[in-house]
Amino acid sequence: MRTSPGSAIGGGGLAHRDFLINTPMLTADKPFAKSGESRAASGSLPQRLHIRRLGLMDYETVWRAMQAFTDNRDDGTPDEIWLLEHPPVFTQGQAGRAEHLLAPGDIPVIQVDRGGQVTYHGPGQVIAYTLIDIGRLDLGVRELVTAIEDAVLGVLDGYGIKAQRLAGTPGIYVEGVKIASLGLRVRKGRSFHGLAFNVNMDLEPFQRINPCGLRGMQVTNLCAFVETSSAEVEDRLIAGLGEVLGYDNRFRQVADRLPRCAAKLMQDLAV
């Protein structure tokens, strides 16, 4: 189904008056178009999918920049993917419950506007924020989630790793252990937030929470299975996300900095 403006989605999402969506109830209203199908062929996409590789950046700065970008974009604004890592931080989604924060200690906790429960971000985890006009791509929210998951499954398959979804919670698992998490917000048909892919991070902080609100949920790293780097994973994710969204190889790296529309906001945050 299509969603109302201001929808959020993530593991353990809870429906309430703020247009949160209960993930298991989401259904796609049409088959998902794979790479190179109708959207790209019809010319309905902008010329390029823009890529920003931002390095290590604090969570709140990037979160506020995503909000500013989404609020200021128009029908002609190209879609973007922001690739980066965060310093240690717990983020609590709109449906988040305090009991899932077991012992955060010295790691900050930020209440945010994505769907889902609590998760952890830290160095060695590749973040891919998907700033996508889903109406322009003729996608529903569930279809966007499926597309992002398909891209991760493709990356893992490229490393010879068999991974799967689990019913009822967005994300990707290897032998029942979580390796990638998803949490999205959709405002006026445009998404932000996105994907967290564990590559080679310190997993200890996950023991301080119930990841995604699931007691006893185990997590793992890609580097537990293969030797790779965050930069290589980013490269593969760019190709995979471009493919599943119908852009194929039509992407370009824009910059290693946030967009101009976020500049004033960043100044205000610094005051």
What are the residue numbers of the active site? 212
Residue 141 burial (CB count, 10 A): 24
How far is CA 91 from each of CA 97, 234, 263, rounded to the nearest angstrom? 11, 22, 23
Amino acid at 130: T
First and final C-alpha spacing in the chain: 42
Q: State the residue for tokens 């029942």.
A: 176
Which positions ≥6 away from 238 have C-beta within 8 Å?
Answer: 51, 81, 83, 251
Q: CA 52: distance to chain centroid?
A: 14
CB 205 within 8 A of CB 122: yes
| Length in residues, the chain | 271
| Of 137, 128, 186, residue with least CA distance to 34 | 137
Cα–Cα distance list, 31 to 34, 37, 140, 146, 169 (Å): 9, 12, 10, 11, 20
Burial of 22 from C-beta contacts in 10 A (0-12 / 13-18 / 19+) = middle
